[in-house]
Amino acid sequence: MTTKLLLTFAICRLIVTVGLTVDPSELLRLGVEGQLSVDPYDVETASLDFGLISRSEPMAVLHPGSADDIARLVQSAYLSSQGFTVSARGHGHSINGQAQTSNGVVIEMSGRSRGSRLGSGNLAKPQVALKEMHVDVWGGELWIDVLRSTLEHGLAPKSWTDYLYLSVGGTLSNGGISGQAFNHGPQISNVYELDVVTGKGELMTCSEEQNSKLFHAVLGGLGQFGIITRARIALEPAPQRVRWIRVLYSNFSTFTRDQEHLISLHGEPSTLKFDYVEGFVIVDEGLINNWRSSFFSPRNPVKISSVGANGGVLYCLEITKNYDESTGDTIDQEVEALMKNLNFIPSTVFTTDLPYIDFLDRVHKAELKLRAKDLWEVPHPWLNLFVPKSRIADLDRGVFKGILGNNKTSGPILIYPMNKNKWDKRSSVVTPDEEVFYLVALLRSALDNGEETQSLEYLTDQNREILSFCDDAGIKVKQYLPHYTTREEWMDHFGDKWDQFYQRKMEFDPRRILATGQRIFNPSSASAGIVDRTVIPIPLSGAYYEELTAGSSHIQPSSLAHPPDPAMATPFLTSFQWFYSFASIEISEASFHCSGLSESRFCCVL
């Protein structure tokens, strides 16, 4: 322990000495149970993500051997006078560099699951509690491994993502959605407890009852408040088999009316509702028979022209019914009773039965096909939108039948509704202000095949055109897996949750160390002359204030009309002294330069 403390001190001293640029070799002396690597392969892997749109090279990569390793690293960043940033990386499935950092360390949370060359491999395997019906899992565990572990006990999580090779901590930091969300809510609505390393390096257990503010902040919090090292996930008895059904529509209003009817049955007994409701848009004949839609037989390809598509667009409803061998004799009747209330094109019913795990892992099979064709590791300019129910028809006219036209598209366009009452409003996620809203996900790949409409530049411009159309039409969409580049855009995204989001950030990560790749907050610096124009909420005398922070040198002294209350403070270390505050604001009145902004707000320059 003494050796580890000395090594920790050595790295902190190095950071103070050299400023914001830390020699990666010195990070190796941090003293962790896992491995801190500057291996070119590890650094290059952490520099990229699934999007292949941005690249940012970290100083080093940590393969943690325990949650304590992560806490030790983050605490070193927090206590250092100059600091460095820390980003947690799961399976690397981010699109726009959200898990990257150029001035810090990337933590490879899923190293063991991916067979990392340096991972210690001694992280706890999923622990299933049969009586309590939950499973405790490492934050970097992949959902496919969670599924395999729980199925050994005849159990499974309730809510999923379409792709299972994602980390638990990664999806819980965003939401985690698939066709079960209408019934069970997103994955963040099915968590009992978390272990989290905050931006201060504190390892905390949180739940509805314990440290609840941190619990709700972290769920859907985009990694801004802490790194999830353990999650306790709700389980249910796992079905053995799935009846998987796809039907086609040529009329959009009929399609959405049927989808909305199906998700309205969420409160009914399991025999009277489907277990999964999704859908996708088909804007060209190639898409309906491509990898994502390989459900349709290649020997009997579906032609858009053969089913009278309105405006050259078809809509596919995708639904499933879970069952066991013991209930197989009733599945036909249950499905038939549900299907008779739908208004799809009668000749377009496609059905298959398969094991439960094969259905949940369906996208991985598509991944293997794309990898065989060298079409997986290509840029992915994805765009995911939550759209209010009242405006989904406008989006159809303006985007599906307008902007997208009949151009060939290299990837699925998902569309399905969800019930807002299945989302906990206390979490950090933002959704449209309507009881039913849709996910519209353009999951396209940019291909270097000579076709302009499939190039990265073209698809990126088209995404901007879609967002501009929504703005101009007054369609109040919210991005899922959001990507913005300005403070104003983030404030608009969070809306009335922004103040709370900000306040939580300053409480749990006051130096803005974590997940800087999201580009929400700039990391703080104690360097002289470096001003961070991040707005920081500071509770003083019961009012709400904002602060403009700067380095601790060249402070302009003045007095405060309302000095901070020490009882509301938390410790914060800078180059020269301890500060006590929710932000980097010193108790001494001489450390402030204040200018009035309004009756209840002022700006402090430290």
Catalytic residue numbers read 93, 162, 278
Amino acid at 601: R
Secondary element (H or E) of residue 143 = helix 143-151
Report the DSSP pairing between strands 85-89 and 127-129.
unpaired
Separation between Cα atoms, residue 414 and residue 417, nearest integer Å: 10
Separation between Cα atoms, residue 606 and residue 603, nearest integer Å: 10
Q: Which residue has the tokens 């996208």?
A: 363
Label residue 16 left, alpha or beta by phi (over 0 means left) and psi (-120 to 50 means alpha): alpha
List % helix, strand, coil for the chain (3-state, nearest 5). Answer: 30, 25, 45
CA atoms within 13 A on the CB side of 432: 24
The dihedrals phi and psi of 540, each to the nearest 5 degrees, come to: -130, 125
Separation between Cα atoms, residue 377 and residue 293, nearest integer Å: 20
Q: What is the token pair recorded at 379?
A: 């840029």
* DSSP designation for 589: G
Q: What is the token pair recorded at 551?
A: 């380095």
- Are the CB atoms for 62 and 32 separated by under 8 Å? yes
Q: Is the dihedral of CA 534, 535, 541, 542 positive or negative?
A: negative
Report the DSSP pairing between strands 104-108 and 60-63.
parallel
Would you call 256 helix, strand, or coil by DSSP?
A: helix
CA 532 from chain centre, in angstroms, equals 26
Q: Which residue has the tokens 């896992």?
A: 34
Q: How far is CA 386 from CA 98, 275, 460, in A?
A: 19, 21, 19
Tell me which residue of 424, 442, 472 sits closest to 207, measured CA to CA.
424
Distance linking the first and last C-alpha atoms of the chain: 37
Q: Is 313 exposed, middle or buried (0-12, 13-18, 19+ CB in 10 A)?
A: buried
Amino acid at 337: A
Q: How far is CA 339 from CA 330, 342, 410, 473, in A?
A: 14, 5, 31, 35
